[in-house]
Every structure is written in structure tokens, then in C-alpha cells.
Amino acid sequence: MDLIIRRAVLARNASNDGSPSPQVDIGIEAGRIVAVEPTLAANAVEELDANGALVTPPFVDAHFHMDATLSYGLPRVNASGTLLEGIALWGELKPQLTQDALVERALQYCDWAVARGLLAIRSHVDVCDERLLAVEALLDVKRRVAPYLDLQLVAFPQDGVLRSAGAFDNLKRAIAMGVDVVGGIPHFERTMADGAASVRLLCEFAAEKGLRVDMHCDESDDPMSRHIETLAAETHRLGLHGRVAGSHLTSMHSMDNYYVSKLLPLMREAGVAAIANPLINITLQGRSDTYPKRRGMTRVPEMLAAGVDVAFGHDCVMDPWYSLGSGDMLEVAHMGLHVAQMTGTEAMRACFDAVTVTPARILGLGGYGTEPGCHADLVVLDARNPIEAIRLRATRTAVIRRGRIVSRMPAPHATLALEGRPAHIDFRPTR
């Protein structure tokens, strides 16, 4: 074999309280997992001792904007931290974008992602630009990172597919160039009717081309922004079940409860997934409220209970809208857990799934998992279970892509100089 990871704890076997969990050896050959057994009697070119640490398939970010990432400070910082200043900033930056700079920033972000064990990203790319400069740049990045990261691109008519002249033609050109997914932004169209019309237009186009759909949908605090209903109904009508996602869905936070009780079964029947972006939703939504101030994130636990797939996305890192972030999907899960008050044991585990297996399903990633036959894409975490991983935003001590170790990071520990106290601590209670 090429690589054996010894003494790994898989998420499904991990105890929740830090008590010992069953361990397995993972055998890897020619980029695939070939064996998962308690004790693997085989030799390998390289062995990695996980020593009881959690080993998972990689993190997946279902919602990102790679055309804007790492532009923080260009041409100036967002001093107020508001959505409106962010939009104004993006307007100032857009004419100054060059393909080379965009590619360089995206590649740098992908380096960060790899070190964080984030090996699949769905990124929206703005197509409201005749030159399609960002599309060309991110298609180039997609090709270049393919050996180590799956980059899926969404043609995103950021200024509205109906509202912005030429946007639908640009979107079609972007798809013809190789962009994977059809995007949209119905709540940004001029009227509710235009928003619904944009959903129909884009879903029909996706159905005709056999593509997936992921729309920025109802990213507003307006309880009457109900485009998710049209998105689910169109998904059902066109037979797009399992291929459509609604991103943000923040208006659902403020919707009437009776209306939501009808909406969630419709979403489940249509197989429409939801992608919440907790870091961004908690900072941008409810911003003009006085007190009480709404959280603004969509109804995550309620959707999970209704059988709707929910993933958490990062959305932004160091761009006009968000000055923070470093590609850490555990930070995203940590925020999602708090904002949605998902502190129950199973709920915390669901937050881990929301940055791993669920977005993998939404993106349609093949060969994702820890069973024999899956791609040998794995992350060794300095944690014993998913809950501890979220709590510590655990270090990815090793990241493996197609059987090759592509990143290593030493686990942190503090050295204390306190008389009568231990010399080293690692933030795990000793029993």
C-alpha cells in the first residue's frame, strides 16, 4: 500500500464525551481507500499514526465568493462594516480588477483552504461584467487547483439576471465556458414578480442543460421575501429534485410560523437544500433593527427536523463585506452552532455534518467518505470527536489528497511555568 493511517477514530465511531472510541487502520492505494479494519496486517510506503485522533473526509464549503476574497483593503477597508459600504466598495474595486491579481488571490486562498483541510469549495462568480474577467480567472484557478482541491463554480448574476442588462446572455456564456452551476438572486430583482420570473427562467435553463442550481435567495429581513417557495415549486415542476439549493434564506427567520409550516414540507418534497452562512448572516442581518435585534440566520434546526439538507458556508473571507476569516470551516460550524442554539449532542454533530458530508452531497461530490472505494481525501484532526473538533477549532495535523499528505501542522500546546501545576496543557480535561 502507499499509505496506512493507524489508530484513527472515524466520526461514526467517536464517543461524544472524550472517552475511548474504537480505532481503525485505513489502508490507501493508488489514491483510494482500500481497507478500513481494526488492525490492518499490511505494509505501506508511509505510515501515519493518528493515535486516537478523529480522521474525517475533508471539509466542504458550499457557499463562497472567490472572486472577491483576500481583497481586504482594496482600494480601502470597509470602515463601517455594513452591507451598504461593502456593496459600494465592490463597485469601486470591480473596474480595477485584473485577471492576474484575481488568480493570485484565489490561489492564495486555496493554499489556506488546503492547510485547513478544506478540499472542496463551491464559489459563486459574478457574471454581470461584459468581459467575464472573473469567470475566466476562476476557470483558470479551477484547472490549476484541480490536483488538490475541487472548485465548483456558480454563474452568479449579482446585479439581477433581469435587472442587469445582458446578464442572462453573460450567464449563458459563462456556462458555455465551463462554469458548473446556475445562480440567481431573485430578491434583488425590481419586483416580487420579477424575482419569481427570474427563478423560473433560471430553473428552466438549468433543466434544459442538466445543471445544478444554487441561488442567493431571500437574503433579507423582509418576511414577505418568499422566493424560496417559487424555487421549491419550480424544482418540483421541472424534476430537479436533489440538484437545487437555496443560499442564505435569511427572510425565513422573520416569516410567519404558519407559512413556514407549509414551506418546509414543500422544500423537503422538492429535495431543495438550504445553505446558511452563519458568520455573514449574524453580522449583516437585523442590522437596522433597534432592540430586540434579530439574528437573521435561517431556521436551521427546524429544517433539519423537517428532513431538509442544511449546509453551512463561509461566504466571505477578507473581502468588501467581511474583514475576517481564514478558510476555517470549524469556525463556521462554531458560529452556526451558537446562532442556531444547536447545543444538544446530536445538534452539535449536525453542525459538523453541515461542513462535511451534507455540503458534499449538495455539491454532488463523487467518492467522498471513509469507506473502501472512496477517494483517499482525509483530514487528521487534533480532536477525539466532532464536538471537540468544533470546540477547539482543532488543528488539521495532516491533510491527505488522493493518498498524498499535502499539508501538516503541529498541534498547539501551551507550556506553563506554574509551580505545582502541569508543564503542558492542550485544553482537554484530564480524567
Shortest spacing between CB 105 and Fe ion, in angstroms: 17
Q: How far apart are the first and last CA of the chain?
A: 37
Give the single-character DSSP code of 422. -
How many C-beta atoms lie closer than 10 Å to residue 269's C-beta?
13
Among residue numbers 292 through 351, which ones bind Fe ion (CB under 5 A)? Answer: 315
Task: Choose between 61 and 382: whose C-beta lies nearer to Fe ion.
Answer: 61
What kind and span of H or E run contains 29? strand 24-29
Beta 212-217 vs 244-248: how paired, if at all?
parallel
Looking at beta carbons only, is 48 or 181 nearer to Fe ion?
Answer: 181
Task: Cell numbers for 123, please give them.
Answer: 464559489
| Closer of 226 and 314 to Fe ion (Cβ) | 314
Cα dist. 414→65, 385, 394, 410, 427 in Å? 35, 21, 15, 12, 9
| Beta pairing partners, 404 | 401
Give whichever of 315 and 377 is closer to Fe ion, judged by the CB atom: 315
219, 234, 331, 388: the catalytic one is: 219
- Whether residue 47 lies in the annotated active site: no
HEC secondary structure over 102-166: HHHHHHHHHHHHHHCCEEEEEEEEECCCCCCHHHHHHHHHHHHHCCCCEEEEEEECCCCCCCCCC
Rounded to the nearest whole angstrom, what is the least distance from the CB of residue 247 to Fe ion in the complex?
6
CB-nearer residue toward Fe ion: 348 or 363:
363
Distance of CA 254 to the CA centre of its chain: 24
Q: Which three cell numbers stand for residue 239?
A: 424534476
Contacts of 365 (CB under 8 A, 6+ apart): 60, 120, 150
Q: Which is nearer to Fe ion, 124 or 142 (CB)?
A: 124
Instruction: Work out the angle at residue 303's Cα, subtended by the Cα atoms of residues 153 and 391, and round it to the nearest 5 degrees.
Output: 75
The residue at minimum Cβ distance from Fe ion is 315
Please check whether residue 245 is in contact with residue 273, taking contact to mean a CB–CB distance below 8 angstroms: yes
CA–CA separation, 331 and 292 (whole Å)? 26
Minimum Å gap between C-beta 158 and Fe ion is: 9
Residues 136, 138: Cα–Cα separation, whole Å = 6
Residues in contact with Fe ion, total (CB under 5 A)?
1
- State in angstroms the smallest separation of the CB of 323 from Fe ion: 16
59 vs 322, beta carbon nearer Fe ion: 322
Are the beta carbons of 379 and 55 closer than 8 angstroms? yes
> 388: left (phi > 0), else alpha (psi -120 to 50), else beta?
alpha
Catalytic residues: 219
* Chain positions contacting Fe ion, by CB under 5 A: 315
